[in-house]
Structure 1
Amino acid sequence: MAEAGAHLTSAAARERPSIFEVLAQESLMAAVRPALRHGAKVLAESDPPRFGFLWRRFDELHLLLDLLLQHHFLSRCGASFSENFYGLKRVWGGRGLGLRGGRRWRSLLLLCLAPYLRAKLDAALARQRDEEDFSIRLEQSGGRRLYRAAAAAWPYAGAAWRAWAFCQQLLFVFGAAGTHDPLLWLARVRLARLDAQDLRDVAPRGSRPGNPAEGSLASLSASLSLGVFFLRFLEWWYSSADRDGVKSLAAPPAPPPPLHLQGGPDAPPPGECPLCGGRRSNATALSTSGFVFCYRCVFAYVKANRRCPLSGVPTEPQHLVKIYCPES
């Protein structure tokens, strides 16, 4: 009996991943999103009319790709992409690969929708801070007041969530909890290492002769693994360049002025705002393109469209620069 109990204890210890493994797989996916975002920004700055939608709709496009990727790995490997990359699987009681029914869909929604909603709420909070910094007071409707209240409460909710995650990790380290992440606890699953039987179950799926679909899926998985390493290298490269004060390779050249602004009979009079057509008030330039507008006109446009009205270059409210003219 004692020998059997010792065998079970050692088997459970071998199956349980370390805190370093679970945190490493989390950092893998956390680094992919910034790298993809940077790539979308480079494309949008190189050709705004063609690739500008990649920057404006990045969150939605990333959510769609994430849903497809995670659904594939949850269905076939019983784990997310990063968990499978580190040799982990999701279990709920029994052994073996695969998630069934509600656990799979719960895992998928928590893996993809939770980061998407968090990114949207962070962006909403940043816009709220921009409005406060730029002294913009929009009409205070009921929805606007609710929005301001949610934005004010979000930092406290984020702090509470991080405190919960930290406590969960401490309990996992000391063996008092089966999961290190509140999202895994909400999905009612835990992480375990792949064993020899799991590897035998997975191997034929990618190497079965005469099945080109299975072979292509295996090639896709290998390509994704290499792509992740490449994206992490890009993320390190650009972060190192920004930290050392080196000019980013993605910095776009100053665009030439449009033809209708270079003079001629159809050129607008000096001091006219290209958006409202009236004389500029509180002149403000965009640091991304150099064009000058009325402050309220360009702030409202950039906030809604996240690009320069004339050049189409990706732009955020923090790129607005106040111009102090002698006559103002």
Structure 2
Amino acid sequence: MLFQVGGQGSRPTFFEMAAAQQLPASLRAALAYSFGVVALRRPIFHKILDYEDEFFALLMLVLETHSLRTTEASFSESLYGLRRRPVNITTRKDNAKMDSKQLQLPWLRRRQRVLSVAFLVALPYLKSKLQALYNKERAARLQASLWGNDDVTFDDSGTYVGQAEAAHGGTDVVGPELSSITRIKKQVSAFIGACYPWIHASNEGLSFAYQLLYLLDATGFYNLGLHILGVHVCRATGQELMDSSSRISRIRSRERERLRGPPWMKTVQKLLLSCIYTTLDYAQTGLIAAVFFFKMMEWWYQSAEERMSAPTVFPPPPPPPPPKVAEGGIPLPHDRSLCPLCSQRRANPSVLVASGFVFCYPCIFKYVSQYKRCPVTLMPASVEQIRRLFHDL
């Protein structure tokens, strides 16, 4: 069961269904990233990013409607060779008779197509907007807890607006009307903030339960939406693919026959229909190929830019020359392990930061405390500049 990817039977495996379900989210992320990169050079595309949910919902509405009409599958399911088939299930106590009561119909009904588009486009759009409102309400609550003000709100752009600014900030609406609108918005935001976590948790729990049951072959529905629609997702056979092609041809022939008007108008309409048909036919594979091609080019140029902008590694500079011995200073011994003050091997070696020379701690502490200078270079120093050395060469 776990390794039947593309295996026998018309029932898709769990991995095929999971890949088909995750494709729209991956496609949206890739498109948003692509438009974000293009917007860096063309600021006009920032308007598309401001209405990202609406543009993606409109794109998916066109793709899903066309895919369900022509291939009897969603946009992502058609890319994996899957088809939707309606099924009427009669609940019986005898499980042995259940298979005989499952009647698969050849094509989706019109109601099932419309509801499929609603589940595939409208519900993800609504979920995205509710998630954005919940994040804004949560940010407002966090800001209110930090500022100690329960009347903190956010405007449409997500900018913090205080109570005084919300009441008098740049609007022509009169006071009572503004207060009622603000109160309604706050109530709606508070309601969403309180209910959305439970709705989201319930949705995720149902999705996990259906996916687990589908993985264990306990149900034929991968999610709740398919169960409500009464639709099974099956692998498409070669005959079904041929039937789909002929069905598309018949639909387009009927649409061309319905054209009305003078000959020149019919010619223009046929030309427009041909352009639309060609765009829709290649929209699925062309969109996916364009995104992957853009990601490949983006990775290629990013690697080149990283190589060009990589910092040049230079060898470490040579150490500075040691400070010179002053004319009235104590000469340095030939043996570097000896203290310049007592001419004995250093005990508890310590360095004087002002000059960098190393002495015995008692010797240098006593000398600096008395003369306030380095005994070798005669540079001004203090006892705070004496540092203990834990490793002496």
TM-score with structure 2 setting the length: 0.52
In the alignment, structure 1 residue 37 sits paired with structure 2 residue 32: yes
1:113 aligns with 2:122: yes
Aligned residues, how many?
A: 232
* Counterpart-to-counterpart distance in 2, 1:154 and 1:238: 37
Matches within 5 A, 1:189-200: 189-200=231-242
1:131 aligns with 2:132: no
Offset of residue 92 of structure 1: 0.9
Counterpart CA distance in 1 for 2:275 and 2:247 is 8
Q: Whose relative contact order is higher, 1 or 2, with alpha carbons under 8 Å and at least 6 apart? A: 1
Asked whether the 8 Å contact 1:21–1:86 carries over to 2, the reply is yes
CA distance in 2, matches of 1:237, 1:125: 36
Deviation at 1:189, TM superposition (A): 1.1
Shift of 1:22: 0.6
Aligned partner of 1:119: which letter? S
Q: What SS does the corresponding residue of 1:190 show, helix, strand or coil?
A: strand
Contact 1:35 1:234 in 2 (8 A): no
Instruction: Give the superposition deviation at 1:177.
Output: 1.1
Alpha-carbon RMSD: 3.4
Measured in 2, the distance between the counterparts of 1:178 and 1:237 equals: 41
Provide the residue aligned with 1:180 in structure 2. 222
Change (3 A) 1:238 1:19: farther
Answer yes or no: is 1:20 the counterpart of 2:15.
Answer: yes
Query: Can you list the C-alpha shifts for 1:64-92, whole angstroms capped at 9, x where unaligned?
Result: 11111100011111111110110111111
Q: Note the residue ranges of structure 1 that are not aligned, 5 or more in a row.
A: 1-12, 248-328
What is aligned with 1:61?
55
Matched residues in 1 for 2:240 and 2:83: separation?
9
Report SS of the residue matched to 2:124. Answer: helix
Decide which of 156, 164, 171 is 2:206's aligned counterpart: 164
Q: Which has the larger radius of gyration?
A: 2
Give the 5 Å matches for 1:304-319. Answer: none
Q: Once the 2 structures are TM-superposed, how far is the Cα of residue 164 of structure 1 from its aligned partner?
A: 0.8
Indicate the SS of the match to 1:92: strand
* Paired position in structure 1 for 2:46: 52
CA distance in 1 between partners of 2:202 and 2:12 (Å): 26
CA contact (8 A) 2:70 2:248 kept: no
The aligned counterpart of 1:143 is: 185
CA deviations 1:165-214 (Å, max 9, x no partner) are: 11101111222211111121222212011122201112346789x99857
Question: Aligned to 2:226, what secondary structure does the other structure show?
Answer: helix
Secondary structure of 1:16 counterpart: coil
CA 1:238–1:23 in 2, change beyond 3 Å: closer, same or farther?
Answer: farther
Q: Aligned partners of 2:293 and 2:200: how far apart in 1?
A: 29
Stretches of structure 2 that go unaligned for 5 or more consecutive residues are: 1-7, 88-102, 154-162, 164-181, 257-270, 307-393
- Which TM-score applies when normalising by structure 1? 0.61
Equivalent position amino acid for 1:231 in 2? V
Alignment deviations for residues 104-131 of structure 1 (CA, whole Å, 9 cap, x no partner): 1000111001110111111112212322
Distance 1:188 1:51, change over 3 A: same
- Check the 8 A contact 1:206/1:217 in 2, yes or no: no
Q: Tell me, yes or no, if the aligned pair for 1:29 and 1:82 is still in contact at 8 Å.
A: yes
Alpha-carbon distance between aligned partners in 2 of 1:55 and 1:217, rounded to the nearest angstrom: 28
Q: Partner of 2:9: helix, strand, or coil?
A: helix
- 2:86 is aligned, of 73, 86, 92, to 92
Q: Say if 1:172 and 1:180, in contact at 8 Å, map to a contact too.
A: yes
- Tell me how far apart the structure 2 counterparts of residues 71 and 123 of structure 1 sit (CA, whole Å): 26
Cα–Cα, structure 1 residues 190 and 36, in superposed 2: closer, same or farther, change >3 Å?
Answer: same
